[in-house]
């Protein structure tokens, strides 16, 4: 290499470095989550056991800062591709980061009364921050290498959180089962990405889309199926959902609440970015395939929830069904401009309602020592505010007006019909009607049944200000997002900006 060529390469490298440094403000939301994890670890190391709650406060504040910075970037900096196109800062990425930030802060508050005073409390908060960071990176990724790294970190953090309780057999079993499913599905996704790289000669999603358009159809179908396995497992889509009820039931309840929202939304958003870019113009009919998976996911999740006697397992199957509704938005992306806003709005409504439901279940478990449906009998007499929050959350998941879930389902059904998938909307409506039964099986005894035998319960554990605050915020958003839907719908509409393309 000549001296002139070396000098030119050095100049190009410096120019790229300067360009990347100038792009750092667009990565401020991700930076806040990086600091959440890194400083969370430091605080866990230096703080005495009795002061580890400060690490939780830091991680929760950093989540909220990430959500606020996402809005600031959107309003002040605008939208663009950064870091040589590997990171996409668009409406979808920033809206998702906002949802993950607020939901993550609520989950830290839910975890506080459970992990307070335990060993490794600070590490728990740090791992939670790192897992949320992975979800945010997944939403921003415009490159399959970035997706693979983010999904790996997301899975690793989820495994650790699931098995957090030292010596708990069920939690360890759930973590191991989650690990096995995650490792196999992640390996399948990486293999699919390697096919895409071989067919297109690039890891960038836009370039992959150009290459796959010219590739043999059989190779495209096979590689895409492998990629969907990895992302579908994270989103609990049928047939990659089998881990979900056992993991939710075995993990600490705050972790189950976290897994039911943040990794799920991140996985669905990743599908919403990857499939339209890698398979432009409905290449190999991926929208129909996703519509079929959405229908199967809704039906299986709803029907499997009916016989459950554990409220946690019921909510696990409910979350599977809700993944099917979210996937309806992905399936309609090529055929309707309303699909992406509907998907974003549904994610907001689902996160609020599901976290509210889990917050009440956690409070009941702490007081009554059980999460069976029978433990909720007479809750309306002893805790009317808990009961109101639970009923509102379940009815929002069902889709009763004027709650957030009603507007979300209306938007998602409209997008499906607009995309020529009216049959999927009909299935969604039928499934919605059926889902009222399992939700009422939980809600009805709280109001209509007498309080069970008080002597059979363990000594009551107070909900505490952190849990009460998390419950209040989630329940309030469940109502507010539905009653005052217009600002949230406008936000979801703006998520179409750039559209990941």
Tokens of 215: 């590739």
**Kind and range of the H or E run holding 82:** strand 80-82
Q: Is the pLDDT of residue 113 over 90?
A: no
Distance CA 318, CA 304 (A): 9
pLDDT > 70 in the chain, percent? 89
Q: Provide the pLDDT for residue 455.
A: 46
3-state secondary structure 385-441: HHHHHHHHHHHHHHCCCCCHHHHHHHHHHHHHHHCCCHHHHHHHHHHHHHHHHHHHH
- Structure-derived torsion over alpha carbons of residues 292, 294, 297, 301, reported in degrees to the nearest 10: -140
Q: Provide the pLDDT for residue 60.
A: 94
Q: φ, ψ for residue 61 (rounded to 5)?
A: -65, -35
Please answer whether residues 315 and 236 qualify as being in contact, where contact means their C-beta atoms are separated by less than 8 angstroms. no
Q: What is the pLDDT of residues 212-267, one digit of tens each?
A: 888 888 999 999 999 999 899 888 998 888 888 988 988 889 999 999 999 999 99
Tokens of 480: 């507010």
Least confident of 172-181, 248-257, 274-283: 172-181
Q: φ, ψ for residue 315 (rounded to 5)?
A: -70, -30
Best-predicted range by mean pLDDT (184-188, 301-305, 454-458): 301-305
The better pLDDT of the pair 494, 301 is held by 301
Please answer whether residues 303 and 434 qualify as being in contact, where contact means their C-beta atoms are separated by less than 8 angstroms. yes
As a whole number of Å, the CA-based R_g of the chain is 22
Tokens of 378: 């007479």
Determine the angle formed by the axes of helices 339-368 and 404-418, rounding to 10 degrees.
150
Tokens of 441: 């099986």
DSSP string across 103-151: HHHHHHHHHHHHHTTSTTHHHHHHHHHHHHHHHHHHHHB-BHHHHHHHH
Please answer whether residues 157 and 130 qualify as being in contact, where contact means their C-beta atoms are separated by less than 8 angstroms. yes
> What are the CA-CA distances from residue 122 to residues 47, 111, 398 (Å)?
9, 11, 36
Angle at 74 between CA 69 and CA 80, to 5 degrees: 115
> pTM of this prediction?
0.92
Tokens of 158: 């989820």
Tokens of 413: 């059904």
Please answer whether residues 440 and 376 qualify as being in contact, where contact means their C-beta atoms are separated by less than 8 angstroms. no
Q: Provide the pLDDT for residue 354.
A: 94
> What are the CA-CA distances from residue 397 to residues 89, 99, 164 (Å)?
30, 17, 29
Residue extents of the structural domains in the chain: 281-501
Q: What is the pLDDT of residues 53-110, one digit of tens each?
A: 888 999 999 999 999 998 888 776 666 676 777 788 888 888 999 999 999 999 999 9
Q: Provide the pLDDT for residue 456.
A: 45
Tokens of 34: 């990086």
């Amino acid at each position: 290499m000549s001296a002139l060529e070396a000098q030119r390469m050095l100049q190009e490298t410096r120019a790229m470095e300067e360009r990347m440094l100038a792009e750092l403000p667009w990565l401020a939301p991700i930076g806040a989550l990086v600091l959440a994890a890194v400083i969370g670890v430091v605080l866990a190391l230096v703080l005495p056991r009795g002061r580890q709650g400060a690490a939780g406060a830091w991680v929760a504040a950093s989540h909220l800062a990430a959500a606020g910075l996402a809005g600031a970037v959107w309003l002040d900096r605008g939208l663009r591709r950064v870091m040589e196109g590997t990171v996409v800062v668009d409406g979808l990425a920033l809206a998702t980061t906002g949802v993950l930030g607020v939901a993550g802060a609520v989950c830290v508050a839910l975890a506080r009364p459970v992990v307070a005073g335990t060993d490794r409390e600070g590490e728990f908060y740090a791992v939670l921050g790192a897992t949320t960071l992975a979800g945010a990176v997944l939403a921003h990724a415009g490159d399959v290498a970035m997706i693979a790294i983010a999904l790996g970190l997301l899975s690793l953090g989820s495994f650790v959180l699931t098995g957090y309780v030292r010596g708990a057999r069920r939690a360890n079993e759930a973590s191991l089962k989650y690990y096995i499913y995650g490792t196999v599905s992640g390996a399948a996704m990486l293999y699919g990405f390697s096919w895409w790289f071989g067919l297109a000669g690039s890891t960038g999603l836009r370039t992959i889309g150009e290459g796959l358009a010219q590739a043999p159809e059989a190779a495209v179908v096979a590689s895409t199926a492998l990629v969907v396995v990895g992302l579908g497992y994270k989103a609990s889509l049928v047939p990659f959902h089998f881990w979900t009820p056992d993991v939710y039931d075995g993990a600490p309840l705050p972790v189950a609440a976290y897994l039911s929202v943040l990794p799920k939304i991140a996985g669905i958003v990743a599908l919403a970015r990857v499939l339209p870019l890698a398979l432009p113009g409905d290449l190999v009919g991926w929208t129909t395939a996703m519509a079929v998976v959405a229908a199967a996911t809704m039906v299986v999740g709803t029907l499997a929830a009916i016989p459950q006697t554990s409220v946690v397992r019921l909510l696990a199957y409910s979350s599977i069904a809700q993944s099917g509704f979210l996937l309806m938005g992905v399936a309609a992306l090529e055929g309707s401009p309303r699909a992406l806003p509907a998907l974003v709005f549904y994610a907001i409504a689902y996160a609020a309602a599901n976290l509210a439901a889990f917050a009440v279940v956690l409070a009941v478990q702490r007081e009554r020592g059980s999460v069976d449906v029978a433990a909720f009998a007479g809750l309306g007499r002893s805790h009317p505010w808990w009961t109101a929050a639970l009923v509102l959350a379940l009815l929002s998941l069902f889709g009763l007006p004027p709650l957030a879930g009603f507007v979300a389902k209306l938007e998602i059904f409209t997008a499906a019909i607009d995309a020529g998938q009216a049959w999927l909307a009909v299935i969604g409506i039928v499934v919605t009607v059926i889902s009222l039964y399992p939700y009422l099986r939980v809600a009805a005894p709280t109001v209509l049944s007498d309080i069970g035998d008080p002597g059979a319960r363990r000594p009551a554990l107070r909900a505490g200000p952190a849990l009460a605050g998390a419950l209040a915020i989630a329940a309030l958003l469940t109502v507010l997002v539905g009653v005052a839907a217009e600002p949230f719908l406008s936000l979801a509409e703006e998520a179409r900006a750039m559209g990941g393309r």
